[in-house]
């Protein structure tokens, strides 16, 4: 015959759960007892703070700066009275310097100074005359002058022996001045070699005396320049 028990009245059903809860409580109580610490009250030293010295702190004395008094106001300007000048001022009469038709103007002679003025060959009115160009038309005298100089250079040309041996050649620029009396002065040359320059100066120095040139009817100096080519054959 089977015994009939109610499932709710069975106490063995939750035995494992109760055992686990009790075990946890025992472990917790044991841990707290191990961690529990006690202290000796006599070993505790409580320091007291003495604040009496703080009341005796010296407070530095500050000196109050005295601000200077403001400057006095400037004195009031003096009142200047304007007194009318009763004296009469004499008027100065300036006479006119213009001449009338009745007055006679004296002739004043203007003396022209004979100045040494250099007039370039390209703009001079009357070119210097090379000997042999006297009977040429005035419009062709400039060309005649240049042709005569080229013939003079070709006639008197002589190649320096030293320059030939050294194989020196080039162009020499020669400049000279035809003075008021027609003579040749101020010969200057510039070239690749001194021997060539010396020969160019010699050729120009042999130019004949020219007939003086004129500018506005007066004789003037005329600078002239010409290149001389030195070429080896």
3 state SS of 9: helix
* 171-225 pLDDT per residue, tens: 999 999 999 888 999 999 999 999 999 999 999 999 999 987 667 777 788 899 9
* Domain residue extents for the chain: 138-230
Answer yes or no: are the C-beta atoms of 152 and 174 closer than 8 Å: no
Q: How many C-beta atoms surround the C-beta of residue 121 within 10 A?
A: 16
Handedness of CA 131, 122, 185, 147 (dihedral sign): negative
| Separation CA 231–CA 155 (nearest Å) | 16
Q: What is the pTM of this model?
A: 0.49
- Beta strands (DSSP E) in 61-219 are 170-178, 184-190, 214-215, 218-219
Answer yes or no: are the C-beta atoms of 223 and 188 closer than 8 Å: no
* 59-99 pLDDT per residue, tens: 555 555 566 777 777 776 666 665 555 556 565 555 555 55
CATH number of 138-230: 3.30.1150
| Separation CA 93–CA 69 (nearest Å) | 64
């Amino acid at each position: 015959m089977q015994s009939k028990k109610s499932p709710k009245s069975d106490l063995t059903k939750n035995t494992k759960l109760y055992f686990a809860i009790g075990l946890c409580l025992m472990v917790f109580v044991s841990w707290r007892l191990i961690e529990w610490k006690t202290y000796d009250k006599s070993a505790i030293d409580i320091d007291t703070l003495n604040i009496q010295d703080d009341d005796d702190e010296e407070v530095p004395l500050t000196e109050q700066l005295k601000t200077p008094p403001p400057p006095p106001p400037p004195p009031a300007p003096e009142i200047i009275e304007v007194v009318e000048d009763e004296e009469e001022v004499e008027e100065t009469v300036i006479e006119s310097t213009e001449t009338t038709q009745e007055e006679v103007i004296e002739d004043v002679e203007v003396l022209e100074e004979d100045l040494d003025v250099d007039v370039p060959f390209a703009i001079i009115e009357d070119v210097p005359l090379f000997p042999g160009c006297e009977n040429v038309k005035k419009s062709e005298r400039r060309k005649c002058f240049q042709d005569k100089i080229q013939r003079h250079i070709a006639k008197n040309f002589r190649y320096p022996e030293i320059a030939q041996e050294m194989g020196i050649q080039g162009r020499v620029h020669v400049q000279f001045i035809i003075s008021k009396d027609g003579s040749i002065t101020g010969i200057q040359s510039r070239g690749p070699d001194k021997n060539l320059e010396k020969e160019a100066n010699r050729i120009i120095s042999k130019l004949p005396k020219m007939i003086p040139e004129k500018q506005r009817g007066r004789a003037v100096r005329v600078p002239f320049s010409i290149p001389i080519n030195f070429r080896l054959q």
